[in-house]
Amino acid sequence: MVKNIFWNKIENRIRAGWRILATLAGMFIIFLPVQALLKLITPDSLTKNQKIDLLLAVFAVIATLVIRISRTRIDKRSFTSLGMKIEKGVFRDIAAGLIISAILVLIILTIEMSFGWVKFEFTDSGIFTIIFRILYMFIATGLVVAWWENLFFVSYLFINLKDGCGFWCAFILNCIIFGAIHSANPNASVWAFAGIVIIHSYEIFGFLRTKNLWLILGIHAGWNFFQGLAGFNVSGWTGNKVIMQTNTTPEWLGGGKFGPEAGAIILLTGVVAFGLIHLYAGWCQYGAQESE
């Protein structure tokens, strides 16, 4: 009887909830001592944001390794089943995701600039410094964060929740968890939570339509990167900016210090995102590929 609480006889593996807990425990058991060590050896010359970026990069590596082991040893499924299959359309999907997010940020900028709510000021740096900052932003703010968040939340957590409680339960729980975690970010509010839920819902939609992580990796990385590049705060974080932005958009619309994700404007970009993802997946015939 007790064994049934932990073991699924039909699937011949540990039940979904325990698989998720084991994976989370593995990530933090490894990361916490590494984090403590990094704090001791990290140079004081690094800024606070750079130290955070370093920790996130290390956590992303640890999370990837733990999820890979958990998926094969505990879940008893292949790592590629998380949407990690390398195919010829990988770079096309990532590029498409970046373009979709560029369009979303451009929509926000167009609306806010048309009312004169946004003014820009470039940081006083040389061309090589600016190029370095842009590349740094793309990797640290974009790819690193998007990689581990999508791998864990959109793929691993969603799939295991779906195995345990069904599709809609997994979808709703996943969005709530993702929104709740980002509610701990600076300047978060109930509207920030709602905005993050909207964004996460179309990321899951993209994952389901393409059956891989590559399109939403581009969307997530591009969303963070292009927001930061345009001078917006990214989920409450200021980050390392190339362009300084003075923004007087009403907070209810533009999101205030948290960034666009906490404003009503995210409703518009959310609808556009769903539409663009659907159109792209149809153009690439992802549904047709699955039925063949």
Q: Chain-centre distance of CA 67, in angstroms?
A: 16
Q: How many CA atoms lie within 13 A of 59 on its CB side?
A: 21
How much is the pLDDT for 96? 98
Same domain, yes or no: 158 and 15 = no
Of 53, 77, 101, the residue that ends a domain is 77
pLDDT at 124: 65
The answer to the question of residue 17 being in a domain is yes
The answer on 273 and 239 residing in a single domain is: yes
Closest CA to 64 of 30, 17, 98: 30
Residue 82 has a pLDDT of 96
**Same domain flag for 187 and 277:** yes
Tell me, what's the pLDDT at 292? 42
pLDDT at position 3: 65
User: Is the four-CA dihedral 66, 72, 78, 81 of positive or negative sign?
Assistant: negative
Q: Is 172 in the same domain as 263?
A: yes
Same domain, 93 and 195: yes
Is residue 143 assigned to a domain?
yes
- Write down the pTM of the prediction: 0.93
Q: What is the pLDDT along the chain (292 residues), one digit of tens a residue?
A: 566 788 888 888 999 999 999 999 999 999 999 999 998 998 888 888 889 899 999 999 999 999 999 999 999 999 999 999 988 899 999 999 999 999 999 999 999 999 999 998 876 677 888 888 899 999 998 999 999 999 999 999 999 999 999 999 999 999 999 999 999 999 999 999 999 999 999 999 999 999 999 999 999 999 999 999 999 999 988 877 788 889 999 999 999 999 999 999 999 999 999 999 999 999 998 876 554 4
Q: Where are the beta strands (DSSP E) in 22-142?
A: 118-122
**Residue 82, domain member (yes or no):** no
Pick the last residue of a domain from 77, 102, 118. 77
Structural domains counted in the chain:
2
Which structural domain, as residue segments, surrounds residue 195? 87-291
pLDDT at 291: 42
Same domain, 124 and 148: yes
156 in a domain, yes or no? yes
Is residue 262 situated within a structural domain?
yes
- Do 63 and 108 lie in one domain? The reply is no
